[in-house]
Amino acid sequence: MNYVELTACIAEASPLRYTPAGIPAVNFILEHESEMSEVGVTRQVKLTIKAVAFGALAEQTVQLTLGKAFKFTGFLINARTSKSVVFHIQAFEQVLNPI
């Protein structure tokens, strides 16, 4: 199953654009930072990931405040033009008390 749930801050957001089919779209750079336990050892985890939202969700997410924490859910795909991964956002909610 390809399902991702990530608490992250929006580091960058592109202006709202439209696909050739006329669907609203917005690209993001998301940043995540936390502590995770791996093999009994706590480690600092930092990651930056490209993300995209389409349709009404794009129109909503383009208005989100940069630097605030949100919980994003969606799935991962390979970018068309490279081997990098892109997180396709399907839903989000504000995180009131990020850890």
- Burial label, 8 (beta-carbon count in 10 A; 0-12, 13-18, 19+): buried
We report the CATH number of the domain holding residue 74 as 2.40.50.140
Residue 40's pLDDT is what?
92
Structural domain count of the chain: 1
Residue 37 has pLDDT above 80, yes or no: yes
Q: Which residues pair with 78 in a beta bridge?
A: 85
- Classify residue 66: in a domain, yes or no: yes
Nearest Cα to 70, choosing from 42, 31, 16? 31
Whether the model clears a pTM of 0.85, i.e. scores above it, the answer is: yes
- Classify residue 99: in a domain, yes or no: no
- Classify residue 77: in a domain, yes or no: yes
- Classify residue 94: in a domain, yes or no: no
- Classify residue 63: in a domain, yes or no: yes
Residue 47's pLDDT is what?
95
Give the structural domain span for 62: 4-88
